[in-house]
Chain A
Amino acid sequence: MLKKAKKISDKMVEIRRKIHKYPELGMEEFKTSDLVAKYLHKLDLEVTRGVANTGVIGLLKGSSKGPTIALRADMDALPIIEQNKHSYISQVKGKMHACGHDGHTAILLGAAKLLSDSKKNIKGNIKFIFQPAEEGPGGALPMIKAGVLKNPKVDMIFGLHIATSGESVGKISLLSGPITASSRIFKVKIIGSGGHGAHPHKSIDSILASAHIISSMQSIISRELNPLESAVVSIGTIHGGYRHNIIADEVEITGTIRAISDKTKVTIPTKLERIIDGVCKAFRCDYEIDFSRGLPSLINDEVAVKIVEKSAEEIIGADNILKMNNPSMGGEDFCYFSEVVPSCLFRLHAFNEKKQCIYPLHHPKFNFDEECMPFGAAILSNIAINAIKYLNEQSS
């Protein structure tokens, strides 16, 4: 399978680079879903478009009726200014594929090709799910609501995420149980009262107050939680003020909370608001705080994990299957799939120092070693075949 995958490697690279050059944000993946649909049509799959706005589904019917396995890739980019200098950098100002979704899409199209070539041997169905807006506002849940897991009913679902955490191409990482943190988004407005920058006693400086809030909230992690409990509170953006010599009357900050255990997910917002309330009172400010529903934890199913292990072993050998030491604090909206169907999301490694593929996800210079793509396509294809075999054996 790997050999076959390497034969289409160039095509996958070509597709990936095309998508990388024209990144589209969540729910705006028009060109990308066009490309995906066209390719799936060529492979003779049953294609459904416009699922959750820009989502695309390709259905491969095997040689006989049987279980249905789904494979999922995300298509959206991020509002980040690309700082790479290679030949296929983003041509769209302010947008970038900085999380490998271009690779996920190219890999899944590769898997579609490999599996449609083997469809005589497949005693079931394979659904290729290309979802929008993984980075936000979310594509998995809308697609589930639009019935993507039905007709035919999906029995198991798999996906991968490219990683540049330090391991090179030819390796994957795996873990049973919770593999991502649950998350919450928060937005805070700190409200002072404006005035001339030379007369601080006549106004209330919201920028200084927010500085104290930002540094105080670090103590939630460092001082209030059990050190063995993993949690993160990060501020992503801050904006406030009109001019260098005018005291800002309002500052807006947005951020994210991550926690592995549910208890922590519920209590951290309360701690955060308590701190903001106290610091604002101390600095004579008002505030507005808004928490929005985030993502639950992604929980890998044990059986699904075993299937991935076996399938990957057949391609890269047991030595190259690493165990994740810890869940990631990142969120993945694949978690909604994992809530309803036994699933497994695994890491596909693509770190490469020589090729400057050393930056973390969401970094403006993020890139991944494209040689990982045939491995991804081969492993996903093998997983689909093995999963169908397994489910057929179970039912007989």
Chain B
Amino acid sequence: MTLLARAKELQNEFVNIRRDLHKHPELGMEEKRTSKIVADYLKGLGLEVQTNVANTGVVGLLRGSQNGPTIGLRADMDALPIIEQNGAEYSSIYEGKMHACGHDGHTAILMGVAKLLSEVKNDLKGNVKFIFQPAEEGPGGALPMIKEGVLDNPKVDMMFGLHISTKQGKAGQIAFMHGTISGGTGFAKIKVKGYGGHGAHPHKSVDAIMASAHVLTALQTIISREIDPLEPVVITMGTIKGGYRYNVIADEVEMTGTIRTLNEQVRQSMPERFNRIIKGVCDGLRCDYELDYQQGIPSVVNNEKATKLVERVASKVLGKENVIEDKKASMGGEDFCYFSMEVPSCFFDLLALNEEKNCHYPGHHPKYNFDEDCIPYGMAVLSESVLEAINELKK
């Protein structure tokens, strides 16, 4: 029996696991119930299990029949602070929290892979490390786990991960991309400071709201005028607030925003650009300012060999016509990037769009859901990739 056929046999079990996780979403670093379910399950399969890695992370090691390369697989477990509106019978019962990004599916799928591979462990000529990480949505779980040694003992030689996607295609398909596939991020908090006074006497005060308007428009020129037009960059100022009353000139305005790029050098250059522009505009308009710029996470960069492997394997398992090569990266962030920096890896999309089943909302939408039929395909592609990778690396 192929791994895909076996995965389809087991579909119900893992759909139920997913639904249970979906009903009980936990936020980053609070995944206590979820990690206990994972740890208990892996222990039940006979894996060597470590718990409380980076607070709530779980690592399971499946040793094969002989020494060999170690392949890492990763799933994230955390939910989001969103009020669920999709009306499913397994909707979240925790007020204000929801699995709105498919991490419940990632966790269930990886547990399924653990099951599939432990069934064939006699044929495994190496090791498989199952990494269940917390807090992908923030404050980050990949980096803390790496710092706690998750990529050592045994040393991980290659890694794979998937993300459920309702952007395109349908269950039974994957999408992959070479090179830089996700956005490097930054966070900016800007305070523009003027000098308060009466709204009718502008010459006696310094209008921070008017100055922030100019700061906002000037920042957009970073994209339109300063950076190579072939380099994708996004600057979004998401919040603005300032002022006391309609007839009082605001002495302070605060804005916060996010910056996305696909080029690490551009990402590193952003704080200087922000500072220069904000300083210039504020100096020109007699304001002071405070800029708090924090670098976020770098891009996920897929390794060529690992990605070609996934393409090959998925074509065999799903059929060539069900393997889509994306040409455009996402500007969203994904903290798998830290794994991709340490280990040759491939992170790909597991497609699960289905309009009839109301699974057509984007990630983070209150009505988000995905076509659960994708679960066995995710299990099969990951499992087969592990086997192929061990073979490849042994050569």
A, B assembled together: yes
Please name all residues of chain A whose beta carbon is closer than 8 Å to the beta carbon of B250 when the two chains form the complex.
Answer: 235-238
Chain B residue nearest to A247 in the complex (CB): B236
Chain A residue nearest to B197 in the complex (CB): A360
Assess whether A258 is interfacial by the CB under 8 Å rule. Answer: yes
Q: How far, in Å, is A240 (CB) from chain B's closest CB?
A: 5
With contact pairs A237-B246, A364-B196 given, residues A208 and B238 touching in the complex (Cβ less than 8 Å) = no
Assess whether A199 is interfacial by the CB under 8 Å rule. Answer: yes
A362 to B248, CA, bound (A): 6
Give the A interface residue count (CB, 8 A): 57
Give the B interface residue count (CB, 8 A): 52
Assess whether A178 is interfacial by the CB under 8 Å rule. Answer: no
Please name all residues of chain A whose beta carbon is closer than 8 Å to the beta carbon of B246 when the two chains form the complex.
Answer: 185-187, 236-237, 254-256
**Interface-facing stretch out of A4-12, A323-331, A373-381:** A323-331
A247 to B238, CA, bound (A): 5
Q: Is B258 touching A244 in the complex (CB atoms < 8 A)?
A: yes
Q: Is B201 touching A330 in the complex (CB atoms < 8 A)?
A: yes
Assess whether A243 is interfacial by the CB under 8 Å rule. Answer: yes
Q: Is B200 touching A78 in the complex (CB atoms < 8 A)?
A: no
Please name all residues of chain A whose beta carbon is closer than 8 Å to the beta carbon of B256 when the two chains form the complex.
Answer: 241, 243-244
Q: Is A211 touching B241 in the complex (CB atoms < 8 A)?
A: no
**Interface-facing stretch out of A46-54, A152-160, A212-220:** A212-220
Please name all residues of chain B whose beta carbon is closer than 8 Å to the beta carbon of A247 when the two chains form the complex.
Answer: 236, 238
Q: How far, in Å, is A30 (CB) from chain B's closest CB?
A: 21
Q: Is B243 touching A238 in the complex (CB atoms < 8 A)?
A: yes
Q: Is A197 touching B202 in the complex (CB atoms < 8 A)?
A: no
Q: Is B333 touching A198 in the complex (CB atoms < 8 A)?
A: yes
Assess whether B33 is interfacial by the CB under 8 Å rule. Answer: no
Q: How far, in Å, is A216 (CB) from chain B's closest CB?
A: 9
Assess whether B242 is interfacial by the CB under 8 Å rule. Answer: yes
Assess whether B199 is interfacial by the CB under 8 Å rule. Answer: yes
Please name all residues of chain A whose beta carbon is closer than 8 Å to the beta carbon of B212 when the two chains form the complex.
Answer: 211, 238
Q: Is B207 touching A198 in the complex (CB atoms < 8 A)?
A: no
Q: Is B247 touching A234 in the complex (CB atoms < 8 A)?
A: yes
Assess whether A144 is interfacial by the CB under 8 Å rule. Answer: no
**Interface-facing stretch out of B18-26, B120-128, B213-221:** B213-221
Q: How far, in Å, is B44 (CB) from chain A's closest CB?
A: 38
Q: Is A241 touching B213 in the complex (CB atoms < 8 A)?
A: no
Assess whether B239 is interfacial by the CB under 8 Å rule. Answer: yes
Q: Is B244 touching A215 in the complex (CB atoms < 8 A)?
A: no
Chain B residue nearest to A241 in the complex (CB): B239
Other-chain contact of B200, A198, A199, A251, A258 (Cβ < 8 Å): A258
Assess whether A66 is interfacial by the CB under 8 Å rule. Answer: no
Assess whether A269 is interfacial by the CB under 8 Å rule. Answer: no
Q: Which of A221-236 contact B (CB under 8 A)?
A: 232, 234-236
Please name all residues of chain A whose beta carbon is closer than 8 Å to the beta carbon of B242 when the two chains form the complex.
Answer: 237-238
Q: Is A197 touching B247 in the complex (CB atoms < 8 A)?
A: no
A197 to B344, CA, bound (A): 29
Chain B residue nearest to A180 in the complex (CB): B200
Assess whether A239 is interfacial by the CB under 8 Å rule. Answer: yes
Q: Is A329 touching B210 in the complex (CB atoms < 8 A)?
A: no
A363 to B250, CA, bound (A): 10
Q: Is B200 touching A197 in the complex (CB atoms < 8 A)?
A: no
Q: Is B210 touching A207 in the complex (CB atoms < 8 A)?
A: no
Assess whether B43 is interfacial by the CB under 8 Å rule. Answer: no
Chain A residue nearest to B189 in the complex (CB): A244
A184 to B260, CA, bound (A): 42
Q: Is B332 touching A256 in the complex (CB atoms < 8 A)?
A: no
Assess whether A88 is interfacial by the CB under 8 Å rule. Answer: no
Q: Which of B183-217 contact A (CB under 8 A)?
A: 183, 187-189, 195-202, 204-205, 207, 209-210, 212-214, 216-217
Please name all residues of chain B whose beta carbon is closer than 8 Å to the beta carbon of A78 when the two chains form the complex.
Answer: 244-245, 248
Assess whether B222 is interfacial by the CB under 8 Å rule. Answer: no
Please name all residues of chain B whose beta carbon is closer than 8 Å to the beta carbon of A213 when the two chains form the complex.
Answer: 213
Assess whether B8 is interfacial by the CB under 8 Å rule. Answer: no
Q: Is B245 touching A208 in the complex (CB atoms < 8 A)?
A: no
Q: Is B239 touching A329 in the complex (CB atoms < 8 A)?
A: no
Q: Which of B331-351 contact A (CB under 8 A)?
A: 331-333
Please name all residues of chain B whose beta carbon is closer than 8 Å to the beta carbon of A236 when the two chains form the complex.
Answer: 199, 209, 243-250
Chain A residue nearest to B248 in the complex (CB): A362
Q: Is A238 touching B257 in the complex (CB atoms < 8 A)?
A: no
Chain A residue nearest to B252 in the complex (CB): A364
With contact pairs A207-B238, A255-B199, A361-B197 given, residues A214 and B248 touching in the complex (Cβ less than 8 Å) = no
Assess whether A73 is interfacial by the CB under 8 Å rule. Answer: no
Please name all residues of chain B whose beta carbon is closer than 8 Å to the beta carbon of A256 when the two chains form the complex.
Answer: 199-200, 246-247
Task: List 13 contacting pairs A-B, 8 Å CB cutoff, sorted by A.
Answer: A183-B247, A196-B364, A199-B234, A208-B216, A208-B220, A215-B217, A237-B242, A237-B245, A240-B239, A240-B240, A241-B241, A248-B239, A331-B247
Which A residues contact B (CB, under 8 angstroms)? 78-81, 135, 181, 183, 185-187, 196-200, 205, 207-208, 210-215, 218, 232, 234-248, 251, 253-256, 258, 328-331, 359-364
List 8 tightest A-B contacts by C-beta distance, closest first.
A237-B243, A241-B239, A211-B216, A214-B213, A329-B200, A197-B236, A254-B246, A244-B256
